[in-house]
């Protein structure tokens, strides 16, 4: 038995119309005489984000060697790495002067998270994982004994699954692929 699949695609997010609408909305009905200027609304930077084409490959196969009753099986998957970000917490002293007004709520100790990387443009290392299984079947009458070994992450990759996106500790891994390990198993059917 052999099965597999390939999928590819990309995502596109466009909030530009909403951002432009918020920037020019008149709040006259709620706050008499107040009309927002474009600088009062959210930034139009990165309001349209389109990722690159990302491809996944997955395969699974198994085969029983007839004369010696040995089962061989394996799975393989290849996926894109996590999307990268570099979030910098900008202090009021860095962004306050550009506002041209007092910060909302008067909180002088506030920060604003700013992503220093354009969203959807950078991704981590690709994940490639191969898992294997070898199983020997022993028969005696109506009973069946199966002895086998599973080998996980046979390629022994150490790909990062998730990482810290804060600029101060940028790209410090928070989880990686489990290292190669084997599991022995015995099954008795009667």
- pLDDT digit string, tens, across residues 55-100: 999 999 999 999 999 999 999 999 999 888 888 888 877 766 666 6
Task: Please state the rounded mean pLDDT for residues 162-181.
Answer: 88
Sign of torsion over alpha carbons 99, 102, 106, 108 = positive
pLDDT tens digits along 119-159: 888 998 999 999 999 999 999 989 999 999 999 999 998 89
**Separation between Cα atoms, residue 117 and residue 166, nearest integer Å:** 11
Alpha carbon of 175 to those of 58, 96, 98: distances in Å?
A: 22, 36, 38
What pLDDT sits at residue 30? 37
Residue 26 DSSP code: B
Q: What share of the chain is helix, strand, coil (3-state, %, to 5)?
A: 15, 50, 40
Q: What is the pairing mode between strands 127-140 and 143-152?
A: antiparallel
């Amino acid at each position: 038995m052999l099965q597999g699949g390939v999928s590819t695609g990309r995502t596109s997010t466009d909030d530009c119309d909403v951002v432009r609408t918020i920037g020019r909305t008149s709040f006259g009905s709620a706050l008499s005489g107040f009309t927002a200027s474009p600088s009062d609304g959210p930034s139009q930077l990165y309001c349209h984000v389109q990722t690159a084409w990302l491809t996944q490959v997955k395969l699974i196969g198994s085969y029983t060697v007839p004369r010696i009753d040995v089962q061989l099986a394996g799975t393989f998957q290849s996926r894109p790495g996590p999307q990268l970000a570099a979030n910098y917490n900008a202090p009021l002293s860095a962004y306050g002067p550009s506002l041209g007004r007092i910060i909302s709520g008067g909180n002088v100790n506030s920060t604003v998270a700013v992503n220093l990387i354009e969203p959807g443009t950078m991704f981590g290392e690709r994940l490639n994982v191969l898992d294997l299984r070898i199983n020997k079947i022993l028969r005696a009458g109506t009973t069946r004994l199966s002895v086998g070994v599973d080998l996980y992450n046979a390629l022994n990759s150490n790909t990062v699954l998730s990482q810290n996106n804060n600029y101060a500790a940028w790209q410090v891994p928070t989880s990686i692929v489990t290292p190669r390990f084997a599991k022995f198993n015995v099954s008795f059917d009667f």
